[in-house]
Amino acid sequence: MEITKTHHPVRGKHLFISLFSLPLLLGGVYASPVTATDVELDVGVVQRFGEEEKETLTIAATSGDTLTLEFRDDNGQQQALQTSQFTIEVVKQPLATPALREKVILSDHATFETAEDSANQWKDRGIKVEVTQPGRWQVWAKRDVYETPLLRRWLLENLKSKGFTDVYLESEILAATPQATFTVAGKTYSSDYLEIIPGKNPIQVSPSQGKVRRYGGSLRLQPNAYGTYTLVNNVPLETYLRGVVPHEIGPSAPLNATKAQTIIARTYALRNVRRFQADNYQLCATTHCQVYYGLSGTNPKADQAIAATKGLVLTYENELVDALYSSTTGGVTATFSDAWNGEERPYLKAVIDSPKNIWDLSQKSLANEEDFRKFISLKNGFNETGRNVFRWNRSATIESLTRDLQKYLERRKHPLADLKMIQWMEVTERSASGRILTMKVETDKGILELHKNEVRSAFMPPRSTLFYLEPIYNSQKQLRGFAFVGGGFGHGVGMSQYGSYNLANLGWSAEKILYFYYPGATIEPLNESIVFWRSQE
């Protein structure tokens, strides 16, 4: 077992270790007791720095503090400098000889969850893979295994001969390479890895594009898989939660809803530390993970909830739950497979999102189109009643829907991307929670099927997959567009954040709220026996 840094207090066996990270579980368990204060996370707070020209990051100490910069210079010598403020930029360094950068892209997905399931299927076929996020989530043939042009082309042809026609090779000839540079006391340095350590106070980060944020812990600039850089925040778990909870649940949430969100956010973070292995960090700071703003915008209620629930996580059969949550379910939660591909999670079930018995899914499944439309017409008695995205009706013309679909198919390099017009759309399969599993789209170039969350990726109007389509005709009975009539915002799996507001206002405890949305799960302190997630490695 190779450990790249030794300052973390937790040690164990059968562990996955990423660069500069806490040893974390990959289908194993901790070998020594764990407390919340032991855990540190690596969060990519600026993920693709250098993608835009003239992009800069100004890093400053706060409250009279001093920053220590540790890096290797152009001669490979370890350097340490001290400063109160400096600016980083990425410059293009011309190459003496053009270089080839390429990878075999095995699949392309809207979400990490489905990408990981695809990666596991490729592993079962004997292909070494990595999950990446250059924009959408993708599964690549592992670059350090298929490291030569010959190996990559052999793999591509071999897979195509077996019927995997969507696999493709992405190639790029580079005339220059990006190089991070920074200036201290009038002298300019360049280094691919830069660690930024504060004396004792938060660090302020001011991007040329984006908002100024303050971060606890330390920062690190490092290369990523896409030819740019990532600014990574190494931060204790409980400090990380101060930058997540108030922004995810909102400042007006009741205290017990905030406590429930805190337990879920803590569980989600630990369960998902594997998301960015290809880039040598663990989590992002956006809605692809959890919104994280560092120490900007902390609030007393969230801090109270974090302190009151310190170290508590949600588990099922001694494994952290897949702690998924969304803004608004639309009146019924979804199962895992309603949104993504992969094994079902027994604690993620279709639950009517109401404290009252207003619909019986065992008698009236929402897979039935008629029952589904009746359900969507209901507005009262739900936890989210009155919320502006609980029910919605959004229309679009055929022309705008066609443009949406063209952009989506172009991103996926789909053979129907050159379509000129959508001719018809219809939902052909729903789950028991009413979520769209398959939607058929007829175009002038052929018919395609969209599955699950890909429906939201392909079209702008739907705010969830809990909707039905209503065709719109003109006076000559010509199809002019579609109305999307539905409810909810997001995937609808697990806890409804607005639903938790209502339950807390009814006097429900954080524990009762979580047991409602994750039936069969258990709240317990983080300890040495808990499995973070079970790997297929």
- Using left for φ > 0, alpha for ψ between -120 and 50, and beta otherwise, residue 492 falls in left
In whole angstroms, give the CA distance from residue 257 to residue 95: 55
473 φ, ψ (degrees, to nearest 5): -115, 155
256-259-264-267 Cα dihedral, nearest 10 degrees: -150
Cβ–Cβ < 8 Å for 333, 316: no
Would you tell me how many other CB atoms lie within 10 Å of the CB of residue 101?
A: 13
Q: How confident is the model at residue 536 (pLDDT cuts 50, 70, 90)?
A: low
Selection from 431, 479, 480, 420 nearest residue 455 by Cα = 431
Selection from 243, 342, 233 nearest residue 295 by Cα = 243
- Parse the chain into domains and list their residue ranges: 93-176, 328-493
The dihedral built from the CA positions of residue 341, 346, 347 and 349, taken in this order, carries a sign that is positive
In whole angstroms, give the CA distance from residue 100 to residue 392: 49
Structure tokens, 328: 């608004």
Which whole number is the average pLDDT over 26-42? 61
Residues 6+ apart with CB under 8 A from 283: 41, 42, 43, 44, 269, 272, 273, 275, 276, 289, 290, 292
Q: How confident is the model at residue 66 (pLDDT cuts 50, 70, 90)?
A: very high
pLDDT at 29 over 60: no
DSSP SS3 for 255: helix
Residues 6+ apart with CB under 8 A from 529: 29, 30, 318
Which whole number is the average pLDDT over 441-464? 96
DSSP 32-90: S---GGG-EEEEEEEEEETSSTT-EEEEEE-TT--EEEEEE-TTS-EEEEEESEEEEEE
Considering the chain, what is the average pLDDT of its residues?
92
Selection from 85, 89, 77, 74 nearest residue 221 by Cα = 89
48 φ, ψ (degrees, to nearest 5): -130, 60
Give bridge partners of residue 187 from the DSSP assignment: 184
Query: What pLDDT score was predicted for residue 475?
Result: 95
pTM: 0.91
Q: How many residues does the chain have?
A: 537
Cβ–Cβ < 8 Å for 84, 67: yes
Instruction: Average the pLDDT over each of 14-23, 388-397, 459-468 and give the range with the smallest value.
Output: 14-23
Compute the 3-state secondary structure of the chain and give helix, strand, coil in percent, each to the nearest 5. 20, 35, 45
In whole angstroms, give the CA distance from residue 470 to residue 485: 7
Name the one residue in this structure whose structure tokens are 């999102």: 353
Query: What pLDDT score was predicted for residue 76?
Result: 83
User: What percent of the chain is predicted at pLDDT more than 70?
Assistant: 93
26-30-35-38 Cα dihedral, nearest 10 degrees: -70
Query: What pLDDT score was predicted for residue 419?
Result: 96
Q: Which helix (H) or strand (E) holds 436?
A: strand 436-443
In whole angstroms, give the CA distance from residue 244 to residue 297: 10
CATH number, domain 93-176: 3.30.70
pLDDT digits (tens, 9 = 90+) for 169-228: 999 999 999 999 999 988 999 999 999 999 999 999 999 988 999 999 999 999 999 999
Query: What pLDDT score was predicted for residue 53?
Result: 85
- Mean pLDDT comparison of 67-76, 494-503, 527-536, highest-scoring range: 494-503
The dihedral built from the CA positions of residue 456, 462, 468 and 474, taken in this order, carries a sign that is negative
DSSP 495-512: EEHHHHHHHHHTT--HHH
Which whole number is the average pLDDT over 331-352? 96
Q: Report the Cα 246 to chain-centroid distance in Å.
A: 18
In whole angstroms, give the CA distance from residue 428 to residue 181: 54
CB neighbour burial string for 191-218, b if at least 16 within 10 angstroms, e if fewer? bebbbbbbeebbbbbebeeeeebbbbbb
Query: What pLDDT score was predicted for residue 35?
Result: 65
Query: What pLDDT score was predicted for residue 36?
Result: 62
Query: What pLDDT score was predicted for residue 161?
Result: 97
Query: What pLDDT score was predicted for residue 537?
Result: 54
The alpha-helical segments, DSSP class H, found in 412-486 are 454-458
